[in-house]
Amino acid sequence: MDPVPPRQADILALARTAGRVDVDGLASEFNVTPQTIRKDLNELCERGMLQRVHGGAVLPSGIANYAYDARRQLASEEKRRIGQRAAALIPDNASIMLNIGTTTEQVARALLQHDGIMAITNNINVANTLRAAPAIEVIIAGGQVRASDGGIVGEATVDFIRQFKVDYAVIGASAIDEDGTIFDFDFREVRVAREIMTHARQTLLVADAMKFQRSAPVRIAHLSEIDIFVTDTAPPDRVLKTCRENGVKVEIASDRTERPS
C-alpha cells in the first residue's frame, strides 16, 4: 500500500485524538477548500482508515471502541440535549440505575436539580457528577474498575445490581442495528447493562444518531425490550417501525427541553 500523504496523515492523527473530524474544520485547519478535504477523506475511507459520516468522518468501528475522552467529544451537543430530555422524563423522588457511557453522564448532569433521587451506578464518572448534589443519594457498585473509562464491571458488579429494583434504568449503547438490536463492545459491560434492565420497572435507552452508523460485536438487547428511546434526530424508518410495533416511545431531544409539570 502506498504511504499516506502528509496532510492525510495529519487528518488521521486528529481523528485518533478526537474520534471524529469534520470537513469545514479540516478545511480551516489546513487552509484548503472543503472539496480538497472531501477528497482526502474519501481516499482515507477507501483505504479503510476512516469511515464517512454526514459532514466528516470517524474512525472505523468494529471490535474496539474509541478512547473515552474522544467519545466525550463526539456529538457532545447532541448528547447534552439527550441528557436533558431523558432527565425531564424522570420525576423527583425516583430511584434510577445508570450504566457506563458518555451519554449517561449527560443524563446525570441534567439530574442535578432533581429532588429525592436515589441513583445507583457502575460508572465512576456518573457518581462523581451526582455526589455533590444534596438532594441525590448516590450508591456505587462494587467490582473491577476499568482503567480506560472508570466503568465498574464483573461478576461482583452483577451480583450488586441484583439487590435492587428501581423505577428507571438509563442505559447507553455503542451501536444500534436497523433491525433494532442494541450493541456494545465489552461483554462484561453488557452483562451489567442487561442486569440493570432486568431490575428496573422502565428502561430508557439514550443514544445519539451516530450509533446508527456504527457497529459493535456484543448484543445488549433489542429495542422491543426498551420502554423509551431518547435520541437527537428521528431514527431510520425501519427502527421507527420496530418501535411503533413494540410500543416503544421515541423522544427526540430538541434544542430546548423543559421539565414536564
pLDDT tens readout for residues 46-72: 887 888 888 898 877 654 455 555 555
CB 249, CB 77: distance < 8 Å: no
The sheet carrying 200-206 orders its strands as: 136-140, 117-121, 95-98, 166-171, 200-206, 228-231, 249-252
pLDDT for 101 beyond 90: no
**Res. 157 pLDDT band, cuts 50 70 90:** very high
Q: What is the pLDDT of residue 69?
A: 55
Dihedral (Cα; 145, 148, 150, 156), 10-degree rounding? -30
pTM of the model: 0.74
Q: Rounded to whole angstroms, how far apart are CA atoms 67 and 64?
A: 9
What residues form DSSP beta bridges with 169?
A: 97, 203
Going by their DSSP bridges, the two strands 144-145 and 152-153 should be labelled as antiparallel
CB 250, CB 240: distance < 8 Å: yes
Determine the topology of domain 70-252 in CATH. Rossmann fold (3.40.50)
Say which residue the cell 478526537 belongs to: 18
Residue 20's φ and ψ, nearest 5 degrees, are -145, 150
Q: What is the pLDDT of residue 258?
A: 43
DSSP designation for 98: E
DSSP designation for 123: B
Intrachain domains 6-60 and 70-252 with the same fold: no
Q: What is the pLDDT of residue 261?
A: 32
Dihedral (Cα; 5, 48, 185, 201), 10-degree rounding? 110
Give ∠ CA 58-63-65 in degrees, rounded to 5: 50
CA-based nearest residue to 122, from 90, 164, 93? 164
Provide, rounded to the nearest whole percent, the portion of the chain with pLDDT above 70.
Answer: 90
CB 71, CB 92: distance < 8 Å: no
CATH class given for the domain over 6-60: mainly alpha
Chain CA centroid to CA 251, Å = 15
Domains of the chain, residue spans: 6-60, 70-252
Say which residue the cell 421539565 belongs to: 259
Question: Tens of pLDDT along 163-175?
Answer: 999 999 999 999 9
Q: What is the pLDDT of residue 63?
A: 42
CB 221, CB 182: distance < 8 Å: yes
What residues form DSSP beta bridges with 52?
A: 57
Question: Tens of pLDDT along 182-204?
Answer: 999 888 889 999 999 999 999 99
Q: What is the pLDDT of residue 214?
A: 82
The sheet carrying 181-184 orders its strands as: 175-176, 181-184, 218-222
